[in-house]
Amino acid sequence: MELTAVDVQDWLAEDLGAGDLTSEAVVPEGLTATAAILLKERGVVCGLELARAVFVELDPDVTFEALVADGVQTEGEIARLDGSARALLGGERLALNLLGRLSGIATLACRYVEAVGGTGATILDTRKTTPSLRRIEKYAVRCGGGTNHRLGLDDGVLIKDNHLRLAGSVRTAVERARSTGAAVEVEADTLEQVREALDSGADMILLDNMSPSELSEAVALTGGRAKLEASGGITLDNVRAVAETGVDFISIGALTHSARAIDVSMEVL
Using CA atoms, how far apart are residues 5 and 139, in angstroms rounded to an integer?
Answer: 18
Closest Cα to residue 124, out of 14, 4, 249? 249
Cα–Cα separations (whole angstroms), residue 12 to 15, 51, 81, 95, 135:
5, 12, 18, 10, 18
Known catalytic membership, residue 160: yes
Catalytic residue, from 20, 57, 208, 248: name it: 208
Catalytic residue, from 80, 127, 128, 178: name it: 128
Using CA atoms, how far apart are residues 145 and 147, in angstroms rounded to an integer?
Answer: 7
Catalytic residue, from 40, 42, 160, 260: name it: 160
Closest Cα to residue 32, out of 91, 86, 94, 96? 86
In single-letter form, the type of residue at position 180 comes to T
* φ, ψ of residue 188 in degrees (nearest 5): -130, 130
Known catalytic membership, residue 61: no
> CA dihedral defined by 17, 20, 25, 28, rounded to 10 degrees?
-140
Known catalytic membership, residue 128: yes
Using CA atoms, how far apart are residues 158 and 174, in angstroms rounded to an integer?
Answer: 10
Using CA atoms, how far apart are residues 269 and 35, in angstroms rounded to an integer?
Answer: 5
Strands 73-84 and 63-66: what pairing?
antiparallel
Known catalytic membership, residue 187: yes
Catalytic residue, from 187, 196, 229, 248: name it: 187
Catalytic residue, from 7, 59, 93, 178: name it: 93
Closest Cα to residue 137, out of 6, 14, 253, 15? 253
Q: Which residues are catalytic?
A: 93, 128, 160, 187, 208
